Structure 1
C-alpha cells in the first residue's frame, strides 16, 4: 500500500471503504508530518490538534458501521486564517484582531464539517490578505517547500504549502486578486476559484465581489470533490447562488476534444514575463492541441484593468482597517496601512464607476470573447517564486509593487469568471510554473475538465519534504 502521505482524498475514501485505513491513522500521520515540517515552512497559525483527533475518531466510528456522513468523511483538511471555524480564533494574519473564538462556521467550513472532513488547523496568510505574498506581522515568513528561501506566494500561502507536502488533502483558501492561483503556481499545486457566488461566504469579504472561496489540492479530482461540497447554498450570503451545484466529478474525464481554446501569452499588455515561464506555459498551452482541442493565439482585447482593481482593493482595505486607530496601525504591515490610507481617499463616484461600469465593461468584453473561444489559457504568473520576505524580486525587473508580477490573475476577479492554475513544469532552477485556465462565467465544470485532461495526459511533479 502507498504511504499515507502520498494518498489523495479520493484514494483515502477508497481505503476507508475497504477498512484498509482508518481516519484516526490518517489524522495522526498528517499531524506528525505537520510537526515535522512546520519549523521549516511555517504554514500553520491556529486550531487545535485535539479537535482534529476528536473529528477523526467520530469519522472512524461512522466508517466502522459503514455509515459515512458525507463525501469528505475522514478527509484531512486545512482552513485559511480569514475563514471562520467555530471555536477557533480568526486572526486574519493580524496581531491586532480579536482573539475571541468564532461563534459559527463560515459556509464552506460548515459544509465541510457536515461532510465529515477532519480539520488539521488554520493556515497562515499575510495581514488581511492584502498582498500575494506569505508573510505577516503575526506569524512571520511562510516559506516555499520547493526552496525554503523563496516565498510560497499568497495570500493563501499556508494552504498552498500544506498542499505541496500533502499535509491534508483539501486546503480552503480565498482569492481576491489571485490569492489561490498565485500560491498554487509558486508551489506546484492545483487551485481554482469558481465563478463568483458559486461558493457562499459569510461574513462577506471587504473586497466584496472580487473575493472568491475555493480549494487548493494536489489533484484536480480532489478539487472537484471539494468544490461539490463547499458550493452548496447558504442563506447567509445574499450574493451567492441559491441552486445546488452539480457533482463536479461527473464528466471530469470527458477531455477537451473539439473545444476552441485561446492562448494569450501576455494578455495584450503584459510587458515582462520570465523566459522560463514563457517557454513552459506556451509548451503547455500547445499540448492541448494534442488532446484534440483547437488552440489559437489570441488576446481578449482589453487594456490592463489595474486602476479598477486598485480602486476596489484599496477601498476594501480602508474598510478593513476602519476600526483600528493609530496605535494598532503601528503594529500592522506598513504596506497594508499605506493601501488603506490610499483607499480612504477614494470617492464614492470613483468607487461606483469602478464597481459598476468598469467592472461590467470588462466582463462584457470577456463574455464576447467566449462566444469565439470556450477557454482562455495564460501564464498564471509572470515569474517563479522569488526571495521570501520581499514584495518583488530583488533585481528590480518588476519594480516595487507586488501586483506587477501577477498581471494575469486579477482581471478575472474583476470579471468574476472561474479560473484555475495547473502546474506545467519546472524552471531551470527547479521551481514550479503554473498555467492559468479561464472559462466563461458559470463554466466551472469546463475549467475543471480541461485541467483534468492536462493532468491525466502530462501530470506534474510533487515533493514529499521541504527542499533547502
Structure 2
C-alpha cells in the first residue's frame, strides 16, 4: 500500500472496503502530513483538524459495520473558500465587509456533504478571485510545492497547491477564465472545468464553473458522480442527465483531434510546453486519432474587450467599499480596476459583446474536429510573489488566452500534467470538447494519461 497521502480516492475506497485502512487512520496520517507541509505552502483557510477527525471517526464506524453512506464516505476533500459552507464566512480573498457566516452550503459543497466526503479545510484564493496568482491580501502568499519560489497560479491557488502536496485526493476549485486549469497546470495536477451548468453553482455568472482538482483523471470522474447532481439554486444549470462518469473507456480510432498551438494573442508559448503538446498529440495519433492543425480562436480585440468589461465589473464591487477598506485590497487589483470607473456604459457593453464573439468562434471549431488539444499556459513558471506571469496590473490577462475562450463558449476543458521541464516544473496540456461532451473530455484525458505514462512523481518536503 502506498503512503496514505499518495493514495487516490479510488484506492482509499478500496482500502476502506477491505478494511486494510479506516477513514480515521487516514485522517490522522493526513493531519501529520499537512502539519509538515502547510507552514511552507499556506494553502488552507478554516482548517479545523478536530472537526475533520470527528467526521473521520464517524465514517470509520459506518465502514466497520459495512454501512457506508454515499459514494465518497470517508474520502477527504477541500473546497475553495469562494464556495460557501454553512457556518463559515466567504472572505473572497480580502476579508472585507461584514463577513456574515454562510447560512447554507453552496450546491457543490452540499453534494459532497450528501455523499459524506470529509471536509478537511477551505483553500485560499486571491482578492475577488481576480488574479492568477497565489497572492491574497487576506490569506497571504500561497506557494507552489514543486518549487516554493514559484507561483501556484490562481484563482484556485490553494486547491492547486493542496492537490499537488497531497492534502487528500479530492479538491474543488472554480473557474471563470482558467482559474481551475491554470493552477492545475502550474502545480502538475488534473483540473476539470465542465460545461457551464453541468455542476450547479451559486452564485452563478457568465462563464463561472466549479470543478474537480485531483491527482488523477479517475478521481476527477469520481467527483463528477456527486457534483453533477442538479440544484435549482443555479438558474443556469443543465437538465439532469444519467452518466456513468467512472466509465472512461474510449475508442480513439476515427477521432478528429484539433491541435491548437498558437493562442492568437498574449504571451508567446515557451518551447517546453510546445514540445509537450506536440508529444501528447502524437501519442493520441498513434492510438488512432487524426490530427488537424487549428488556427487560434482568440483575438486581441476579444481579450481587450473582456478586460474592459471585467474592469468595470470589478470597480462596481470596489466602489461599494469605504476608502479605508479599499486601501486593504491588493494594489494590483486597484490599479487594474480603477480604469473601470472611467469607462462609459457603451464601452463596457461593447466589452461584454466579446464574450459572445468568443462563443461563436469556439463553437465553430467543432465543425472541423471532435476535440481540441492545446497548452494550458504559455509559460512554465513565474515568481511566487508576482500578481501574474507579466506582473503588470495593466496587462493581467496575457496568460489566459488558451483557457478563457472555452469559459465564454461554455465548452468542457481539462488540464493534466504531460511531463516536466528541465527545472522540474510541471507542463500542463489542455483538452477541450464541444458543449455538453464532458464525459468525452474525461475519457480523452484518461486515454492521454495512460499513454503519456508520466512516472509517479510528487513534490518533496523542502
Bucket of the pairwise TM-score, normalised by the shorter protein? over 0.9
1:402 paired residue among 387, 396, 403: 396
User: Would you say 1:440 and 2:434 are equivalent positions?
Assistant: yes
2: distance between equivalents of 1:245 and 1:211?
A: 23
User: Would the aligned equivalents of 1:228 and 1:245 in 2 still touch at CA under 8 Å?
Assistant: no
Unpaired runs of 5+ residues, structure 2, are: none
1:462 and 1:41 mapped to 2: Cα distance? 21
Bigger mean CA offset, 253-262 vs 430-439: 253-262
Q: Residue 431 of structure 1 aligns with which residue?
A: 425
Q: Which residue of 2 aligns with 1:384?
A: 380
Per-residue deviation, residues 402-452 of structure 1 (Å, max 9, x unmatched):
321232111111111111111111111111110111111111111111110
Matched with 2:85 is 85
Q: Is contact 2:262–2:296 with CA below 8 Å preserved after alignment?
A: no
The CA distance in 1 between the partners of 2:275 and 2:458, in whole Å, is 26
- In the alignment, what sits opposite 1:452? 446
Tell me if structure 2 keeps the 8 A contact 1:146–1:463.
no
Checking the alignment, whether the CA contact within 8 Å between 2:298 and 2:405 is kept in structure 1 is no
Alpha-carbon distance in structure 1 between the residues aligned to 2:17 and 2:58: 15
Give the one of 209, 212, 216 matched to 1:215: 212
Change (3 A) 1:98 1:22: farther
Other-structure match for 1:298: 294
The equivalences for 1:16-31 within 5 A come to 16-31=16-31
Match of 1:273 among 259, 269, 274: 269
In 2 relative to 1, CA 392–361 (structure 1 residues): closer, same or farther, beyond 3 Å?
closer
Task: Name 1:418's counterpart in structure 2.
Answer: 412
Deviation at 1:400, TM superposition (A): 6.5
Contact (CA 8 Å) 2:131, 2:155: kept in 1 or not? yes
Structure 1 residues 308 and 227 mapped into 2: Cα distance closer, same or farther (>3 Å)?
A: farther
**CA-CA distance at 1:316 after TM superposition:** 3.1
Q: In the alignment, what sits opposite 2:135?
A: 135
Q: Is the 8 A contact 1:232 1:245 kept in 2?
A: no
Matches within 5 A, 1:19-418: 19-204=19-204, 208-244=205-241, 246-250=243-247, 252-269=248-265, 272-304=268-300, 305-355=302-352, 357-392=353-388, 401-418=395-412
Q: Is the 8 A contact 2:336 2:393 kept in 1?
A: no
Return the alpha-carbon distance in structure 1 between the equivalents of residues 455 and 364 of structure 2: 36
Deviation at 1:320, TM superposition (A): 3.2
Contact 2:376 2:403 in 1 (8 A): yes
For the 8 Å contact 2:163–2:170, the answer to whether it is kept is yes
CA RMSD of aligned residues (A): 2.0
| Cα distance per residue 1:19-65 (max 9 Å; x no partner) | 11111111121111111100111111214222212221221122122
CA distance in 2, matches of 1:100, 1:399: 30
**Which shifted more, 108-117 or 95-104?**
95-104
Counterpart-to-counterpart distance in 1, 2:437 and 2:180? 18
| Cα-to-partner distance string for 1:49-100 (whole Å, 9 max, x where unaligned) | 2221222122112212222211111110101111111122322211324443
Residues 359, 405 of structure 2: 8 Å contact kept: no
Alpha-carbon distance between aligned partners in 1 of 2:161 and 2:57, rounded to the nearest angstrom: 26
Do the aligned partners of 2:145 and 2:161 also contact (CA within 8 Å) in 1? Answer: yes
In 1, are the aligned partners of 2:192 and 2:212 still within 8 Å (CA)?
A: yes
Runs of 4 or more consecutive aligned structure 1 residues displaced over 6 Å after TM superposition: none
Mapped to 2, the partners of 1:347 and 1:146 lie a distance apart of 44
Cα pair distance change 1:12/1:269, threshold 3 Å: same
CA drift at 1:152: 0.9
| C-alpha distance 399-138 of structure 1, shift in aligned 2 (>3 A) | closer
Q: Which consecutive residues of structure 1, in runs of 5 or more, have no partner in the other structure?
A: none
How many residues align? The count is 461
User: CA distance change for structure 1 residues 316 and 115 in 2, over 3 Å: closer, same or farther?
Assistant: farther
Deviations 1:121-149 (A, max 9, x none): 01111111111000111122111111111
* CA deviation map 1:150-187 (0-9, x unaligned): 01111101111111122111111001111101100001
Question: How far apart are 1:307 and its partner, in Å?
Answer: 2.2
Over 3 Å counting, the alpha-carbon distance change for 1:349 and 1:248 in structure 2 is farther
Quickly say closer, same or farther: Cα 1:312–1:412, change in 2 above 3 A: farther
**Mapped contact 1:255–1:450 kept (Cα < 8 A):** no
Q: Secondary structure at the match of 2:411?
A: coil
- DSSP-derived class of the 1:404 partner: coil
Q: Secondary structure of 1:101's match? A: coil
